[in-house]
Amino acid sequence: MAAGLKVVGTRGTAAALASAGIEIESVYKVNEGRPNIVDLIKTGKIDLVINTPLGRESFWDEKSIRRAAIRYNIACITTLSAASAAARGIRAMAGHSADVGALQDLHRRKSAAAAERK
């Protein structure tokens, strides 16, 4: 898989992504059997959830998936535009390390640099 990632999705998502040429493994919805997507979240096999349900019948799965993501501290993206941005970011960071810091520190450094230029 690109960027060393494994992608899993419920039946409809898996079919749509596979038809677009994306390698994906299909997983059960909550009401379809076990192991299902929530089981995978609970057992630490999912690192990122992209949950953009379509239609009324998705309500229960949507609720269960998002609840499990929150409970097990898994990032959950809920719009296709955010998913696209995350995919671009993941691709850009593949093979690179990232520095993590407080946003306040970034603003302090920028303010200090601006003050020095004056």
Averaged pLDDT, groups of 10, the chain, 118 residues long? 77 90 92 94 95 73 91 94 90 80 91 88
The reported pLDDT for the residue numbered 31 is 87
Tokens 């677009």 correspond to 20
Number of structural domains in the chain = 1
Query: CATH number of the domain that 105 lies in?
Result: 3.40.50.1380
d(CA 76, CA 87): 13
Q: Give me the domain span that covers residue 93.
A: 2-117
The reported pLDDT for the residue numbered 54 is 74
d(CA 48, CA 51): 10
The reported pLDDT for the residue numbered 48 is 95
Tell me the C-alpha to C-alpha distance, in Å, between residue 62 and each of 3, 11, 19, 88, 107.
Answer: 27, 14, 23, 24, 37
d(CA 38, CA 12): 16
Residues 6+ apart with CB under 8 A from 13: 24
H/E element, 75? strand 75-77
